[in-house]
Chain A
Amino acid sequence: MANESNETVNVTINGVAAAVPRGARIIEAAEQLGIGIAHYCYHPGLSAPAMCRMCLVEVEGAPKLAPACVTPVAEGQVINTESERARAARTGTLEFYLLNHPLDCPICDKSGECKLQDFTHAEGRPHGRSVEPKRVLGLDDFGGDILYQGNRCIMCTRCVRFMREIAGADLLGVVQRGHRSAIDTFFETGLEGSLWAGNIVDICPVGALLSKDFLHKARVWDLDNTPSVCPNCAQGCNVRLDTRDNLVVRIRPRLNPAVNSYWMCDYGRHQYEWLNQPDRVQTPMQRGAEGELVPVGWQEVLPALLARLQQRHGPLVVLGSPMLGNEDNGLLARLAGRLGGGTLRYRSAQAEAEVPCPGFPALARRRELTANGRGLELLGFQRTGTMAGEGGLTDLAGATVIVLGDALEDQPADFAAGVELLVVLGQRPTAAARSAHYLLPVCTCAEQEGTFPNVHGLVQRFWPALQPPPLARPAWQVLSVLLAGLDDGAPVNSAGGAFLRLGELYPEYAGLSYEQLGSRGALINEPVVRPAGKGA
C-alpha cells in the first residue's frame, strides 16, 4: 500500500464512496473504510498468493469475482463485498474448508481466536453436508516450540511464506499436492535453527500450528491481554502480554511498523517466566536490633531510610535496572544526585551478536538482552560486569550501595559485609538481597506502567499486566517519596507524572508525555553528552 506520491483513486465499496491510495489492493482499501473482508492466505506482512479464495468480491463490470487481496483498486471501481454472489461464494468455499477439518474446537488451543471459527460462525452453512470419512494426518513435531496438527490445516501457506520471506530460512514447504498436501519440514530437520519460527503460530489462522509452550495452558478467552514492550532485548518489540490467574502465559507480537512489524523473535517470546516469579519480597524490611530482617510498614521504613541515607559517610554507588523503566531509573539517578552524587552502574546480559530478521531488517534480536540499557546510558549509568550480567561489584567496601531491580543472584549471602549501607529496591529475596539493611519490594516492569527507549531511541510505553504483591510499589513511587523528603519537589502520583518529571530533569525527554507516546512511541530528543557516572 506504500504510495510515495499520495495519489488517490475514487472507489465505492459497499456503497461507501472514498478516495483510497492508488495501487492499494481492494482488501487494504476496504480495511481503511472499516470494511473487513474475510481471508486466510492473505497477511499484510507477507506476499499474497490469492489461493484461499475467501476474499472474492464483486467488482462491477468484471465477469468473475475478484480476489481482493491481489486486485488493485482502480478509478471509478464499484466493489461489493456483500453481494449475493460474493456471499454465496464465501459460504460455498467455507464448506470446503470444513470438509476435512476435525471440528475439535473444544480441545484446540486456537479456539476463540480462530479465523475458521469466526468466518464459519458468520457465514458458513449451519450444517455440513459431508458424510465421507475425514482425512487424518495426525500430529507432527516441527522441532523447537512448534507442533503441526495437520488435520486442522487449511493450507493457506502463511507459515511457508513467513519462513521464506521473513525468517529467510526455507525450512517449511508444502509437500504432496492436491488433497494430499500438507505442510512439512525437510524430514527430520526441524525449525530449531530459526530464531523467528514462533511467529508462524501467531499467523496460523487456525489451530494447525501450535506452541508446545502454550499447549493446553489456557483457553484464549480466559486470557487478559495487555499491550507491552518486550523487555528481553534492546529492540523493544511491541508485544501483548497474555495473562491468566496473574501469570504471563505467552507473549505475542503487536504491530508496530517502525519497530517489529508483525513479528518478534523466539528468544523474547519465551523469556517470560522471570515475570512470574512466585518468590517475591513481600513487605518492606529493615535490620532489627539483632541484625535480623524485620518486616516494617512503608510509613516507617521510608523516613528511617531517608535519615540513614543522610547520615552516611562513604561514597555512593547506585545500581540501576535495565529491566525497569526510565521513570524508575531516572528518579534513582536523581536521588543519587540529591545525595551528593555517586557512581551510577548497571549490569545486563548481552549476546555474542545481533541476529537480524532477514525479511524485516529493522528488526533484530539485539546484543543487549535487556530493554533499558540505552535509557540507562542516557541517564549516565555505566555498564559493568560480564556478558552474563554478573560480577563487576567488587569495589564496594565502605560504600553506600543502592540497588534497584538487580537480583544480585551471583553475589554471596554476605554481600553487605564491608558495605556501609546496602539498600535494595528489589523483587526477589535472594541471599545477597537479604543481606541488605533495607529491602524494599518493588514492581517488575510487567506490574507497572513505564517506558523503555529502544536501541534507536524510540521511547515506548508499557502497561501493567500483572498484580504485584500487595505491598510492592513501583520504584518510581518509592523514589519520589524519598526525593520529596530531600526537598526535591512533591511526590509524583503516577507513572505519567514521573515521566514528565524525567523531562524536567533530562533534556532528552523534555516535552514528551505519555499522551504523545501513545501506543507507537516517540523518538527521544538529541542525546546530550554528559559525564558518565554522575547523578543529575
Chain B
Amino acid sequence: MAEERTPLQGGNPGWAGETGEYGHLTEADVRGTTYVGKRPPEGTSPGASCSYPYQVGGGRPDAPLFEGPYRERLDKILSRYPNRQGALLPVLALAQEIRGHLSPESMAEVAAALGLAPAYVRGVATFYTMYHKRPVGEHLVQVCTNVACNLCGADEVLRAFLAATGTEPGQISADGQYTVIEAECLGACGFPTAVQVNDRYFENVSPEAVPAILERLAQEAAARSSAAARQGS
C-alpha cells in the first residue's frame, strides 16, 4: 500500500503500471488503494452495498465465526440476498477470512448459520477453487500458467517461486509463510506472468523478479506484525 513507487529488482515492478507508457502512475494509482481507503482488517467496515471477504492470511483456525464485526458483516451479507442460500458464497469466504481455511467444522457452522444442509455446503465449497479445504501459508502465491502467461515463461516463474520458497506445489513452506500453487487464467493476460499473492496481483513477473517480490512480502509481514505488537502493548 506504499504511496511511493517501490521499484523491485530485476527490472520488474510487479504491477502493470510501470510498463508501457504510464510510467508516471504510482502503485497506489494503479491498484486504486487511495480511492478504496482503509480495509476491514485495519478497522473499518465495508460499504453499504456489499460485504466482501479479504484473502489476507492471518486466519486463526480456532477463532469464533461471526462474532462482533464479523456478525455485522454476516448480517449485511444476508440483507443483500432474497434468501439465505444466496449468501452462501460470501459467507463461506467470510469464514475462510476468519479461520484461514474451511474445515469440516467451519462448513457445518456456516450451514447452521444459513439453515442449509452440511452436505450441501460441502458440495458447494468443494466446487470452487478459492475455498481452501486445508490450511495454506500466510501468503498464497498463485502463479498463472495458462496459455497467455505460459507463452511468456510462466512455467519458469512458477519454478522460481517454488525454488525460492523451498516448497512443492500446494505445500506450506517450513516457516509457514508461503504456499505456491499453479493457477488458471487470472484475467491479466496482457501482463504476463500474472501472479496473485493473497488479494493482490503482481504482473509482468519474470523469474528474476521473484526474490524481490518475496523480500517485499516479508518486509510487509514484518511491518504488520510489529504494528500489531505495538497495538498489543
Q: Do A and B bind each other?
A: yes
Please name all residues of chain B whose beta carbon is closer than 8 Å to the beta carbon of A174 when the two chains form the complex: 123
1/0 per residue, CB under 8 A from A, across B109-145: the answer is: 0000000111111110011000000000000000000
* Cβ contact within 8 Å between A176 and B119: no
Q: Is the C-beta of B108 less than 8 angstroms from some C-beta in chain A? A: yes
A177 to B125 CA separation, bound complex (whole angstroms)? 10
**CB of A49 to closest CB in B, whole Å:** 14
Residues B127 and A171 in contact, CB atoms below 8 Å apart: no
A170 vs B88: C-alpha distance in the bound complex, in angstroms?
16
**Residue of B116, B121, B123, B127 with most chain A CB atoms under a 10 A cut-off:** B123
Q: Quick check: is B104 within 8 A (CB to CB) of the other chain?
A: yes
Q: Is there contact, CB below 8 Å, between A185 and B119?
A: yes
Interface centre among A170, A173, A174, A176 (most CB of B within 10 A): A173
Determine if A171 and B119 form an interchain contact, defined as CB atoms under 8 angstroms apart.
yes
B117 touches A171 (CB 8 A): yes
Query: Nearest CB to that of A191 among chain B residues?
Result: B119
Q: How many A-B residue pairs have CB under 8 A?
A: 36
Chain B 126-178 residues near chain A, CB threshold 8 A: 126-127
- B117, A187: Cβ atoms under 8 Å? no
A229 at interface by CB-CB < 8 Å:
no
Residues of B with C-beta under 8 A to A169: 117
Do A176 and B127 touch (CB < 8 A)?
Answer: yes
Q: Cβ of B120: which chain A residues have Cβ within 8 Å of it?
A: 170, 173
**In the bound complex, CA of A176 to CA of B125 (Å):** 8
Give the contacting residue for A189; candidates B119, B126, B127; CB below 8 A. B119
A442 at the interface (CB under 8 A from B): no
Give the interface residue-count category, chain A: 10 to 19
Provide the bound-state CA to CA distance between A169 and B127, in Å: 21
Q: What is the interface residue range for chain B against chain A? A: 10 to 19
Q: Is A86 an interface residue (CB 8 A)?
A: no
- CB-nearest residue of chain B to A160: B123
- Judge whether A56 is part of the interface by a CB distance below 8 angstroms: no
B117 touches A184 (CB 8 A): no
Can you name the residue of chain A whose Cβ is closest to the Cβ of B126? A175
Task: Give 1 or 0 for each of B84-126: 1 = CB within 8 Å of chain A CB.
Answer: 0000000000000000000010011000000011111111001
Q: Does A214 contact B (CB under 8 A)?
A: no
Residue of A nearest to B104 (CB): A187
CB of A172 within 8 A of chain B? yes
Minimum Cβ distance to chain A for residue B212 (Å): 36
A184 vs B127: C-alpha distance in the bound complex, in angstroms?
13
Chain B residues lying within 8 Å of A187, measured Cβ to Cβ, are 104, 122
Give per-residue flags for B44-72: 1 if the beta carbon is below 8 A from chain A beta carbons, else 0.
00000000000000000000000000000
Interchain CA distance A13-B112 in the complex, whole Å: 49
Closest beta carbon of chain B to A168's beta carbon, Å: 10
Tell me if B117 and A175 are in contact (CB < 8 A).
no
- Complexed CA–CA distance, A175 and B126 (Å): 6
Choose among B107, B116, B126 the residue that contacts A176 (Cβ–Cβ < 8 A): B126
Q: Which of A170, A172, A176, A186 contacts B104 (CB 8 A)?
A: A186
Chain A residues with Cβ below 8 Å from B104 are 186-187
- Assuming A186-B104, A186-B108, is B119 touching A170 (CB within 8 A)? yes
CB distance from A242 to the nearest CB of B (A): 30
Bound together, the chains give a CA A172 to CA B118 distance in angstroms of 9
Q: Closest Cβ of chain A: how far from B129's Cβ, in Å?
A: 9
- Closest-CB distance, A282 to chain B (whole angstroms): 51
**CB under 8 Å from chain B, chain A span 157-173:** 169-173
CB distance from B132 to the nearest CB of A (A): 14
Give the chain A neighbours of B127 by CB distance below 8 A: 176-177
B143 → A minimal CB distance (Å): 21
CB-based contact B126/A177 at 8 Å: yes
Q: In the assembly, what is the distance between CA of A513 and CA of B104, in Å?
A: 58
In angstroms, Cα B104 to Cα A40, docked, is 31
Chain B contacts of A175 at CB under 8 A?
A: 122-123, 126
Question: Which B residues are CB-close (under 8 A) to A176?
Answer: 126-127
Residues of B within 8 A of A173 (CB): 117, 119-120, 122-123
Contact status B118-A186, CB under 8 Å? yes
Min distance, Cβ A112 to any Cβ of chain B, angstroms: 31
What A residues does B119 contact at CB under 8 A? 170-173, 184-186, 189
Taking the closest CB of chain B, its distance from the CB of A43, in whole angstroms, is 20
Q: In the complex, what distance in Å separates the CA atom of A405 from the CA atom of B126?
A: 54
Residues of A within 8 A of B123 (CB): 173-175
Contact present for B122 and A186 (CB under 8 Å): yes
Q: 0/1 per residue, A173-199, Cβ < 8 Å to B? A: 111110000001111010000000000
Q: Compute how far the CA of A174 lies from the CA of B124 in the bound complex, rounded to whole angstroms.
A: 8
Bound Cα distance from A170 to B122, whole angstroms: 11
Using Cβ atoms and an 8 Å threshold, which residues of chain B touch A177? Answer: 126-127
Closest chain B residue, CB of each to CB of A171: B119
Chain A residue at minimal CB-CB distance from B117:
A170
* Alpha-carbon distance A171/B119, docked complex (angstroms): 6
Q: How far is the CA of A169 from the CA of B121 in the complex (A)?
A: 13
Closest residue of chain A to B128 (Cβ to Cβ) is A177
Enumerate chain B residues within 8 angstroms of A185, measured Cβ to Cβ: 119
Task: Report the separation of the CA atoms of residues A362 and B126 in the bound assembly, to the nearest whole angstrom.
Answer: 36
**Nearest-CB distance from A283 to chain B (Å)?**
55
Within 8 A of A (CB), among B3-61: none
Which single residue of chain B is at the shortest CB-CB distance from A189?
A: B118
How far is A1 from B180 in the complex, measured between Cα atoms in Å?
53
* Least CB distance, B100 to chain A, in whole angstroms: 19
Q: When chains A and B are docked, how far (Å) is the Cα of A189 from the Cα of B117?
A: 11
Residue of B nearest to A176 (CB): B126
Report the minimal beta-carbon distance from A473 to chain B, rounded to whole angstroms: 51
Bound Cα distance from A173 to B121, whole angstroms: 9
CB distance from B110 to the nearest CB of A (A): 12
Binding site for A on B (CB under 8 A): 104, 107-108, 116-123, 126-127
13 A-B contacts, Cβ less than 8 Å apart? A170-B117, A171-B119, A175-B123, A175-B126, A176-B126, A176-B127, A177-B126, A184-B119, A184-B122, A186-B117, A186-B122, A187-B122, A189-B118
- 19 additional A-B pairs beyond A173-B117, A174-B123, A186-B119, beta carbons within 8 Å, are A169-B117, A170-B116, A170-B119, A170-B120, A171-B117, A171-B119, A173-B119, A173-B122, A175-B123, A176-B127, A184-B119, A184-B122, A185-B119, A186-B104, A186-B108, A186-B117, A186-B118, A187-B104, A187-B122
